[in-house]
Amino acid sequence: MKKKFQRSVCLILTNAILIVTIGGCGGQSANPVPRYQPGDEKRSCNALYAEMKSIEDEIVVKNHKKGNRDALNVVWFITGCLIIVPFFFIDAKGSYEVEIDALKARKVALQTIFADKDCSPPQSEVDKGKELE
């Protein structure tokens, strides 16, 4: 009875150490975009608008990838409780959150420059807005 208890405690401690260790190194590193890039204020209104639109699209893609990552982490955690190996595949770095926050900050910076230049959306975008009304 005492040996079974010692084995159980040893297994639990080993799993706990493994989870903590993997949590620090599992997943991809964040690669945030800088909020300001040299030459932003020299860009044309259309270039600023186009970059803001591409940032919006990239935020949508990263949110989708983040959702997929979260679902996969749940699967890896559940199977990792049964077999230790899946714990190696858990992405615990939160890189998507960092990148999404950086993209939002970049978009705000571009919107500020866009407003300071008294820019307006391209004519085709204004026409689309009228059609929706």
Asked if the structure places residue 132 within a domain, the reply is no
In whole angstroms, what is the distance from residue 88 CA to residue 1 CA? 32
Q: Name the band, by pLDDT with cuts 50, 70 and 90, for residue 133.
A: very low
**6-10, 17-21, 32-36: least confident range:** 17-21
pLDDT in tens, 79-101: 776 666 666 666 667 788 888 89
Residue 87: Cβ-neighbour burial (10 angstroms; 0-12, 13-18, 19+): buried
Which pLDDT belongs to residue 87?
62
**To the nearest 5 percent, what fractions of the chain are helix, strand and coil?**
75, 0, 25
89 within domain boundaries: yes
The CA-atom distances, in angstroms, between 46 and each of 15, 25, 38, 129 are 54, 41, 17, 17
Rounded mean pLDDT of the chain? 76
Residue 130 placed within a domain: no
Mean pLDDT, to the nearest integer, of 104-128? Answer: 82
- Residue 78 within any structural domain of the chain: yes
pLDDT tens for 22-45 read 554 566 677 788 888 888 888 888
Q: How far apart are CA 65 and CA 1, in angstroms?
A: 47
How many domains does the structure of the chain reveal?
1
pLDDT number for residue 127: 53
> What pLDDT does 69 receive?
81
Residue 133 lies in a domain: no
For residue 114, the enclosing domain spans 2-123
Angstrom distances, CA of residue 16 to CA of 7, 42, 81: 14, 53, 11
Inside any domain, residue 131: no
